[in-house]
Every structure is written in structure tokens, then in C-alpha cells.
Amino acid sequence: MSESGLGSPAAVSTSSRLSLFLDRVGLQGFPWVSAIVLYTISWGWLFIVRDSYWADDWDYFKFRGITDFDYRTLGFAPWSRINLIIFDTFGPEFLRLLIFIIFFSSAVLLYGIIKDSELLDSSQRKFLVLLFLILPFNSARLSLNTFIYSIAYLYFFLAWFVLVRFGTFKSKFLSLVLFFLSFQMFANLVFFLLPVANMYFLEGRGSLRVFLNWTRRYLLFLLAPLIYWALRTVFWSGSGNYHDITSNKINGFFRFLLIVAVTFIFLILGFIWSKEVVRRRITLVIISWGAIVVGYLPYVFFGLVGYGFKVPMTYLVTMLGRSDWFSRHQIIQPLGFSLFLISLVYLLPSFSNKFRRLFLSMILVISVVFNIAFGFEYVVDFKKQTLVVAALGAEPNKTAGNEVQMVDQTTLLNARGRSYRERDWLGLVGLAEGVDSAKKLKVVSGCSESPNVRLVLIQGPETHWQALKNWVRDRDMGFKVTIDDTPGACKPEMVTAEKVSGAIPILFYFTGVKN
């Protein structure tokens, strides 16, 4: 064999080139197989309900203007309109495919960000990205309307990845642009502290002069959130009361800060009093706790996740319980929470290494179970919706009135304990009878004995377990939808007054246990 062929591009195999590329961008060692398998099992149910619509989807995507709400009042950035362009061009199935890809890609980018971290070894990095992917946060990603946050999520981690892995002027400029685009999710304005701190510890540690030089080099980065906020205030500010500041919110925010301060004091004291060999692990706990807090501060400040001392319990309920669509407020929690779990487990003595891996593996398994359970809830809820549409379409409206009364006796089967708003019912009527017909109707949840109204009575199994057993046994979950145009058909006693609290039920939320 001649030496001239050695080292030539033709002699390098495709796998070798791929390996070299992955190593150069910091992705060598990513747990591809386990990540793809666990992630697909956890979130593959998105494709079962791929053409579904939920909550604000009806008004923002499917039937624009079906209600009077104007989404421009929320202050979305101008570039968020690309979501509508993608939807109009490719439809809801493509958007859900993008959502599925986005969250997986973000985990891959995270691995590249932490690849050279001195605080994490190879095993910890792999567990971190798996937890980041699989922990049961943000099941609200199902809603197409949250795509605006999903794409901002990807922008953010891609910007951080480019900033850390590449050192050229062009890469830094690209990173700055991506960060700026990611600020359409307002929580990223604060979460931005993490990549800034990351770059400071990578490049800026040293004397005051070094710090000032680093600040000068990254001045535009440091000012980016303020520039975005100023532009938003002037050009696309929201006019609704969604982000209004009240005294109750401010008081709750400062009570939450008290919890945070006390926790940090204990952690710092633990760091000071611990042996040198343990300090590195406590440092990881402090960083992870800080990431959790930074990712939650905006939501606490605007009163979206509870108030004051109730925030920790609300956090768990939002993550694991009946939380309606509020799990979207935890979209940037996986990083801090995953790192927190890793840091706590690795505080254990080194001889317990086998237990560490077992414990983290159990967390992954439990997370997968919750994800599947939540997914099945959405599948059940979607099945109920399709039956309502089918029943309405099969029974032309014979009443002279313009009111439809929806009596749902299966509210325990609403996914994540969500409630059906007017837009949900109007959307279903719109699918069955056309959007023009839906716009003329008044659709209400409840019952009265008014004449000339249409009754839609929804009946079915009491729990998700029962729906599952029916589906396995009969290929039918057991829902029944009755349409009645008889005057006065809707009786108050038909309405189930049963209410379900927001607490986490015994066993799993999936059981539909009443509490």
C-alpha cells in the first residue's frame, strides 16, 4: 500500500468523519440510543393526536377570530408570526413534528454546552441530558399555541451552544442574534444569566482588570435583554392585563425570595464548613439551585405559579398533578432540576456509585411512566372531542335558538385536569358545522331550562384506568354523546357538581383518583 493514500480525504471513512465532527462540536459521547428510545416512548404520543387542537389553538390557528380575543394584546414579538406561516403551509402535524424534534435537539445542544465542564464527569453528563429530556415537565407542549415558546427554547440553547463551542466573531454574532430571537419567551430574559455566567467563568475569571475587559468584550450581550425590552415597550407592547403587577404579586414574590435566600445561606454555610473534597459537589448543588430559581423568577413575579410560601407545593402540582395548561410555565425547568438531582445524588459517598446509577435510572423510569400517563390522558380527551364533533355533524341543528349547552359528565377525564373554555366548545362546533355557524352561536358549559337551545350531553367512564380497560377490551373507550333539541331537555341535575382539587392524587394522577 502506498503512503500517498494514507490520510487523504478518500481514505477517511464516513464513520470516522462523523466521529471527528462530533468530537469537534462536543457531541462525542452523547447517549444517542437511550435518549432516542426513552424520548420516543415518553413523547411519541404527540403523533397520535398530531392533528388535534387545544385551548388557544382554536382561536390562534384553526379558526382565527372565533372569539373576540386579540392575541396582539399579549405583546408577542413580530417574528412570532412565522408560526402562522408554518401552520398555514404545512398544517398541525408538521408543527408537532417540529416540537418533537425541537426538544430532542435542545438536549443534544445541552450536551455540547456541558461537554467540557469541570464539575461533571462523563456519567453525570449522560444522566443529565437524559433527565433533561425525560423529566415530566411541560406537557403543554402539545398545544400548538405554545410553539412560540418551543422555538424560543431551541433558539436559546442553540445560541448558548454556538457561544460556547465556537470562538469566532461570526459565531458570537450569530449567538447574539439567536439569543435576541429567544427573548420572545419572556422568561429567557432572566434565564440569560446562565450563559452569561457560563462565559464569564470560562473566560473572565481573574483580576478586576480582567473582569472589566471581559465586560467590554461582551457589552452588547449584556445589554441585549434591555434592548429587547425597550423595543418591545415601544413597538410591540402588550395591552392586556396578563403581566400586570399587583401588590399581591409583589408581596408573594418577596416571600418567595425569602425562601430562596434562606436556602442559599444554608448551602453556602454547608460549602464553608465542608471538607475540600465535598466542596466541588456542593458547588454543583448551589449552581443547580440557582438555575431552578432563575428559571422560575419571572413566573413567580407575575403570579403565574402561586404566591410566596405556596410556590414549592404549586411547583410539584404543576409538574405532576392536575395543572391544566400551566405546565408551560415550567418549560425551562428541566436544566436546573436535572442538575439538582445529579448534584444531590453525587453528594453520597463514592462507594455508593452503584446506588447512584440505580436511583437515577429509577427517576428516568418513573418519568417515562408519568409521560406515558399524561399522553394517554390527552389521547382520551381527544377521543372525546372527536365523538362530540361526530355527534354534532350527524345531527343537524333543528332549534331556532342560538345557544348550545354542553353538559360534560366526564370532567375527570379532561387531560391534566384542564377545563373546557368557550373557545374549546366553539372549536368543536366549528369542526362539525362550520366556523360561520359557530360564530353565530353561544356555547356554554352548564345547564338551564331555557327553551330553543341544543343540549349536548357527554357521558363516559369515570377514570382513565376504566377508559384504558374499555379500549383494550372493546376498542372503544366508553364515551357516549347525546344530542337533544327538545325544548327544556337540559336539566340542572344533569350537571355534575363534583370538583377536583389541584393536589396530586394517591398513586398517579393517571388514575383519576378523586380528592
Model confidence over 397-430: pLDDT tens digits? 766 567 888 999 999 899 998 999 999 999 999 9
> Cβ distance 34 to 127 under 8 Å?
no
**Within a domain: residue 372?**
no
User: Between 252 and 501, whose confidence is greater?
Assistant: 252
Of the three residues 297, 325, 347, the one that is the final residue of a domain is 347
- Is residue 76 predicted with pLDDT exceeding 90? no
Query: Are both 407 and 319 inside the same structural domain?
Result: no
8 Å CB contact between 63 and 430 = yes
Would residue 26 count as lying in a domain? yes
Asked if residue 500 has pLDDT above 60, the reply is no
Closest to 464 in 3D by CA, of 427, 410, 392: 410
Same domain, 337 and 461: no
The pLDDT, as a whole number, for residue 7 is 52
Domain count, the chain: 2
pLDDT in tens, 55-67: 999 988 999 878 8
Specify whether 230 is located in the same domain as 98: yes
Q: Which amino acid is at 250?
A: I
Mean pLDDT taken over the chain: 88
Task: Assess whether 277 and 332 both reside in one domain.
Answer: yes
In a domain, 354, yes or no: no
Is 369 contained in some domain?
A: no
What pLDDT score was predicted for residue 241? 64
Q: Which residues contact 474 (CB under 8 A, 6 or more apart)?
A: none
Q: Are residues 288 and 395 in the same domain?
A: no
Q: What domain range is 179 assigned to? A: 12-347
Predicted confidence (pLDDT) per residue in 236-287, tens digit: 887 666 667 788 889 989 999 999 999 999 999 998 998 887 888 899 999 9
- Find the mean pLDDT for residues 439-460: 84
Q: Are residues 213 and 343 in the same domain?
A: yes
Q: What does pTM read for this prediction?
A: 0.92
Do 340 and 382 share a structural domain? no
Quick one: how far is CA 120 from the chain centroid?
26
328 and 402 fall within a common domain: no
Instruction: Identify whether 69 is part of a domain.
Output: yes
The whole-number pLDDT of residue 211 equals 85
Q: What is the pLDDT of residue 12?
A: 52
Among 347, 366, 392, give the residue marking a domain's end: 347
Q: Which 3 state secondary structure label does DSSP give 25? A: coil
Same structural domain, 405 and 275: no
Say yes or no: 307 and 385 in one domain: no
Residue-level pLDDT at 74: 78
**d(Cα 229, Cα 226) in Å, to the nearest integer?**
5
**Residue 346 confidence class, pLDDT cut points 50, 70, 90:** confident
Residues 321 and 237 in one domain: yes
- Residues 143-152 have pLDDT tens digits of 999 999 999 9
Q: Is residue 71 part of a domain?
A: yes
Q: Is residue 361 part of a domain?
A: no
**How sure is the predictor about 322, in pLDDT bands with cuts at 50, 70 and 90?**
confident
Asked, for residue 326, whether it belongs to a domain, the answer is yes
Higher pLDDT, 474 or 240: 474
Work out whether strand 442-445 and strand 453-459 pair parallel, antiparallel, or are unpaired: unpaired
CA distances from residue 387 to 98, 327, 364, 381 in whole angstroms, order as listed:
28, 27, 35, 10
The reply to whether 321 and 383 lie within a common domain is no
Who has greater pLDDT, 5 or 337? Answer: 337
Highest-confidence range of 57-71, 157-171, 385-399, by mean pLDDT? 157-171
